[in-house]
């Protein structure tokens, strides 16, 4: 029995965790892993309702930097895990720090000056810009050796649509990663209701996402990039 891979997940929300766990299961192909969900210190009373899940990832990155008091890559969280997956949906590229009052003293980057959204296709123009911004949150210019950045375009729900509803006409489109309609589509399919992503529905479909992961990789460039980066860090069993 090979040693379980220790994977920490920093993600926008709990349904993202379900999708990422399904993807990792598929990637590890039967090898066991020890998932840990990581969150910033956050008092929910102080968290404005309007703030999206990416704000939590932002805060975690800033706390990482503060803790390390030097390059974030020196933070012990990397030494304590085989890898740390950091997920932010690429729709965040449309956001600005000034939209969120709780973000104080943000870095002077593209999200500070304007947004970092680029024309799509190709999706990578936007996701690359967002990844640079994310690294800046950690005070890094390159991806730390044990980090895996995960930036689904436009959101992780794109992967869910492709995995679970392959016959959907939009899921078949080569431009699926540039399509903004995935969340309304998941409302239609019952995974999202009244703006809430339904965790029980996501969990019920976890196996389906895992089984369809090769198709998701084939259709979504960011899923492929995530898979390649992840597999490169899996330690030998």
Partner 1 sequence: MINKLTVESFKTLEKVEVELGTVNVFVGANGSGKSNLLEALGVLASAADGKVDDQVLLNRGVRPGVPELYKSAFQEKLPQHIYFAAHNEKSSYEVSLLNPLEVTRPWRFKTELLMRGHDKVTSRSPRLKGNPNTERGLAALEALKLKKGDGARRLLEQLQEFVIFSPTTPVLRGTSPETKPRQPVGLHGGRLPEAVHELLRSRKDNPQAKKACSEALALIDWARQYGSAAAVDMPLSAAAGASPRVIRFVDRYMREGRNVLSGYDASEGALYVLFLAVLAAHQDSPHLFAVDNADHGLNPRLAKTLFKQFCGWILESPEPRQVLVTTHNPQVLDGLPLRDDRVRLFTVARTDAGRTSIRRVEITDKLLEMAEKGWTLSRLWIMGHIGGMPHV
Residue 84 neighbours by CB distance under 10 Å: 23
* 8: contact with partner 1 by CB under 8 A: yes
Region near partner 1 per CB under 8 A, out of 24-32, 153-161, 180-188, 224-232: 24-32
Tell which one of 36, 128, 132, 221 touches partner 1 (CB under 8 A).
Answer: 36
Provide the minimum distance between the beta carbon of 136 and partner 1 in the complex, in angstroms, as a whole number. 21
Region near partner 1 per CB under 8 A, out of 58-66, 102-110, 167-175, 217-225: 58-66
Burial (CB count within 10 angstroms: exposed 0-12, middle 13-18, buried 19+), residue 15 = buried
Nearest-angstrom CA–CA distance, 233 and 237: 12
* 41: contact with partner 1 by CB under 8 A: yes
Region near partner 1 per CB under 8 A, out of 28-36, 45-53, 85-93, 143-151: 28-36
Nearest-angstrom CA–CA distance, 27 and 6: 14
Tokens representing residue 104 in the block: 């104080």
Q: By C-alpha distance, which of 126, 143, 141 is closest to 85?
A: 143
Nearest-angstrom CA–CA distance, 235 and 158: 29
Shorter beta-carbon distance to partner 1: residue 3 or 101: 3
CA angle 184, 128, 54 (to 5 degrees): 50
* 40: contact with partner 1 by CB under 8 A: yes
Tell which one of 63, 128, 132, 221 touches partner 1 (CB under 8 A).
Answer: 63
Tokens representing residue 5 in the block: 């891979």
Stretch 68-97 residues interacting with partner 1 (CB under 8 A): 68-69, 74-77, 79-80
Is the bond preceding 69 in cis, omega lying within 30 degrees of 0? Answer: no
Contact 92, 15 (CB under 8 A): no
Provide the minimum distance between the beta carbon of 17 and partner 1 in the complex, in angstroms, as a whole number. 6
* 25: contact with partner 1 by CB under 8 A: yes
Token look-up 């123009």 returns 125
Nearest-angstrom CA–CA distance, 124 and 133: 14
Tell which one of 2, 47, 50, 67 touches partner 1 (CB under 8 A).
Answer: 67
Tell which one of 2, 32, 166, 180 touches partner 1 (CB under 8 A).
Answer: 32
Tokens representing residue 9 in the block: 């997940």
How many amino acids of this chain bind partner 1 (CB under 8 A)? Answer: 31
Shorter beta-carbon distance to partner 1: residue 40 or 106: 40
Q: Which residues bind partner 1 (CB under 8 A)?
A: 1, 4, 6, 8, 14, 17, 21, 24-25, 32-41, 60, 63, 66-69, 74-77, 79-80
């Amino acid at each position: 029995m090979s040693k379980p891979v220790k994977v920490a997940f920093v993600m926008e929300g709990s349904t993202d965790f379900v999708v990422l766990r399904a993807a990792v299961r598929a990637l590890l192909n039967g090898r066991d892993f020890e998932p840990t969900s990581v969150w910033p210190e956050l008092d929910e009373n102080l968290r404005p309702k309007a703030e999206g899940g990416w704000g939590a990832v932002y805060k975690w990155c800033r706390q990482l930097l503060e803790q390390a008091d030097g390059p974030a890559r020196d933070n012990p969280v990397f030494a304590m895990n085989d890898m740390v997956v950091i997920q932010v949906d690429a729709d965040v590229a449309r956001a600005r720090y000034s939209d969120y009052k709780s973000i104080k003293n943000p870095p002077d980057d593209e999200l500070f000056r304007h947004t970092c959204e680029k024309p799509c296709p190709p999706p990578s123009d936007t996701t690359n810009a967002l990844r640079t911004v994310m690294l800046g949150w950690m005070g890094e210019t390159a991806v730390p050796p044990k980090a895996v950045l995960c930036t689904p375009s436009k959101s992780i729900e794109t992967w869910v649509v492709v995995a679970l509803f392959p016959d959907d006409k939009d899921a078949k489109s080569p431009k699926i990663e540039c399509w903004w309609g995935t969340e309304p589509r998941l409302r239609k399919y019952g995974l999202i209701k009244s703006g809430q992503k339904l965790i029980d529905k996501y969990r019920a479909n976890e196996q389906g996402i895992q089984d369809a992961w090769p198709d998701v990789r084939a259709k979504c460039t960011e899923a492929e990039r995530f898979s390649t980066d992840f597999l490169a860090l899996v330690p030998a069993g």
